[in-house]
Amino acid sequence: MIEIKNISKTFNKGTADEIAALKNLNLKINEGDFITVVGFNGSGKSTLLNLISGSLIPDNGKIFFNDVDVTQLPDFERSKYVSRIFQNPLAGTASELSIIENFRLAALRTQSKSLSIGNTKIFKESVCEKLKTLNMGLENKPTALMGSLSGGQRQALTLLMSVMDESKILLLDEPTAALDPKSATIVMELAEKIIREGNLTALLVTHRMKDAINYGNRLIMMKEGQVENDYSKADKSTLNTDDLFRWFNI
């Protein structure tokens, strides 16, 4: 699904603040993989997601989606492939619009826009059915402004909206970092359900070692811009959170 070949990215090149975020990184991600990514601060985790999404263009190397070279495609051209959930719950929604209006925008994200498209009765009913799955009571208030909701509610809605179109790659950049423990659990359980049922290919960057162990079929550990360890599902099943903490303390 995704192949990354010899990717490098350096920031502030040629200055005293030069940072080599990624160094000739190679990674193959199979269709349906759910990979959790952990690593030290500055190890290149978010840079990796930015390069996959097209928010950044690499200094060298290639990125392929299903054998299609997307290396030079910016993020808006990769949106037909990639959905992304950010750490900040406010980043994935429009506060001044209603829930139903946010869902309509999400559904049209990769389509041509026209004046004939609106929030039809059928569309509203389909959104309310999706909202019911959250057990948050939001199906009863689809016209509520997104800005009136809690961070956990907004992050859960962002996840639902991420699969409103045909994108098959989901990038999660510390999606629970700003949430309380209960909301974090709800969001992660929802993410796992969406990834499994949609057969999505997903990467989750997290600092929560429990989530890194409990979710996904592969675990990647990054250090100094490279993948230091890549655990398969079988190998990952032998690890626990103490093993990860020991790696960080080496």
Residue 3 has pLDDT above 70, yes or no: yes
Task: Give the range with max mean pLDDT: 29-38, 98-107, 114-123.
Answer: 29-38
Instruction: Place 246 in a pLDDT band, splitting at 50, 70 and 90.
Output: very high
Cβ(12)–Cβ(19) below 8 Å? yes
Q: What is the mean pLDDT of residues 82-99?
A: 89
Cβ contacts of 198 within 8 Å, gap of 6 or more: 163, 168
Q: Which two tokens stand for residue 179?
A: 């949430």
Higher pLDDT, 49 or 110: 49
Pair 69, 42: CB distance under 8 Å: no
| Average pLDDT rounded to a whole number, residues 186-190 | 92
Angle formed by the axes of helices 151-162 and 99-107, to 10°?
30
pLDDT classification of 37: cutoffs 50, 70, 90: very high
- Answer whether residue 112 shows pLDDT above 60: no
Contacts of 48 (CB under 8 A, 6+ apart): 4, 22, 25, 37, 203, 205, 222
pTM attached to this predicted model: 0.89
pLDDT of residue 111: 56
Q: Contact 231/218 with Cβ under 8 angstroms?
A: yes
Please report the pLDDT score of residue 115 as a whole number.
44
* Mean of all residue pLDDT scores within the chain: 90
pLDDT band at residue 119 using 50, 70 and 90 as cut-offs: low
Strands 60-65 and 68-69: antiparallel
Q: Which residues on neighbouring strands pair with residue 170, listed in sequence order?
A: 83, 202
pLDDT above 70 for 113: no
pLDDT at res. 118: 57
Quick one: average pLDDT of 38-49?
94
| CA-based R_g, the chain, Å | 19
Instruction: Assign 250 a pLDDT band (cuts: 50, 70, 90).
Output: low
* Matching residue, tokens 């000739």: 24
Mean pLDDT value across residues 13-31: 94
pLDDT of residue 176: 92
Q: What does the chain come to in residues? A: 250
Q: How many CB atoms lie within 10 A of CB 159?
A: 24
pLDDT score at 116: 46
* CA pair distance 122, 120, nearest whole angstrom: 5
Fold of 2-249: Rossmann fold (3.40.50)
